[in-house]
Amino acid sequence: MKSAVIVFPGSNRDHDIAHALKTVTGQDPVSVWHADTTLPDVDLVVLPGGFSYGDYLRSGAIAARAPIMRAVAEFAASGRLVLGVCNGFQMLTEAGLLPGALMRNEGLTFVCREVLLETVSTDSPFTRNFAKGDVWRCPIAHHDGNYFADADTLARLEDTGRVAFRYARDTNPNGSINDIAGILNEGGNVLGMMPHPENLVEALQGGTDGRRLFESIAGAFAAA
């Protein structure tokens, strides 16, 4: 499985994601600079976590208008896989590739801790290796993770199995509506999530709970 990680000025989890992909798939992803306008021939594009453009204006807002994002939008429209983690999720909503918005955390502070996630939808290439209702550990680190969508959008997400992950057992760290931690686009080929599964893929990191997400993606290609 070939992948690319887009690097923006201020990205800080690009190496973490690259390490997770290498650990699980055995292949190093290609690094693509935000100012590039074309993507290499890959199966998966990742928008990593961090503080792109210093979070100026709104987290992810400037990155969503970076030159590479036109190619990312076309890549997503062709049905290929796009994963946005944390700042990457913020970029996906700002770019209109996922609905809703990520507002300032309810407590108005940066939150860096571990939460519990419940897998809600297993019907996507990103979640196929999970069981519905699985509860797993995942680290978070953000100040703008408070997911919000209007009532119609929320109903559509809930009714069509597009909520991928929810904060479980009262661990919602940011006030996200319906405890939403990650959502899918209509085609199921774009996933945005605030928590960082790339930081829990090997024992040295304190556990391997995040590994299944990368194994799901890799498995989707092995099965194809």
Closest CB to ligand GLN among residues 59, 189:
59
Q: CB neighbours of 223 closer than 8 A, spacing ≥ 6?
A: none
**Least Cβ distance, residue 72 to ligand GLN (angstroms):** 17
Task: Work out whether 146 is an interface residue with ligand GLN (CB under 6 A).
Answer: no
**Least Cβ distance, residue 104 to ligand GLN (angstroms):** 8
Closest CB to ligand GLN among residues 29, 145:
145
Task: Work out whether 51 is an interface residue with ligand GLN (CB under 6 A).
Answer: yes
| Binding residue for ligand GLN, selected from 142, 166, 211, 212, defined by CB under 6 A | 142
Task: Work out whether 144 is an interface residue with ligand GLN (CB under 6 A).
Answer: yes
User: How many other β-carbons are positioned within 10 Å of the β-carbon of residue 153?
Assistant: 14
Alpha helices in the chain (DSSP H): 14-25, 68-77, 87-94, 151-159, 211-223
SS (HEC) of 32-58: EECCCCCCCCCCEEEECCECHHHHCCC
Beta strands in 104-153 (DSSP E): 111-119, 135-142, 146-148
64-123 positions binding ligand GLN, by CB under 6 A: 86-87
**Least Cβ distance, residue 24 to ligand GLN (angstroms):** 20
Task: Work out whether 192 is an interface residue with ligand GLN (CB under 6 A).
Answer: no
**Backbone dihedral angles phi then psi of residue 120, each to the nearest 5 degrees:** -95, -45
Task: Work out whether 138 is an interface residue with ligand GLN (CB under 6 A).
Answer: no
Taking the C-alpha atoms of residue 62 and residue 38, their distance in angstroms, rounded to an integer, is 18
Task: Work out whether 34 is an interface residue with ligand GLN (CB under 6 A).
Answer: no
Closest CB to ligand GLN among residues 94, 179:
94
Interface with ligand GLN: number of residues (CB under 6 A): 12
Instruction: Judge whether 168 and 209 are in contact, CB under 8 Å.
Output: no
Instruction: Judge whether 107 and 113 are in contact, CB under 8 Å.
Output: no
**Least Cβ distance, residue 168 to ligand GLN (angstroms):** 20
Task: Work out whether 16 is an interface residue with ligand GLN (CB under 6 A).
Answer: no
Residues that bind ligand GLN (CB under 6 A): 49-51, 55, 59, 86-87, 141-145
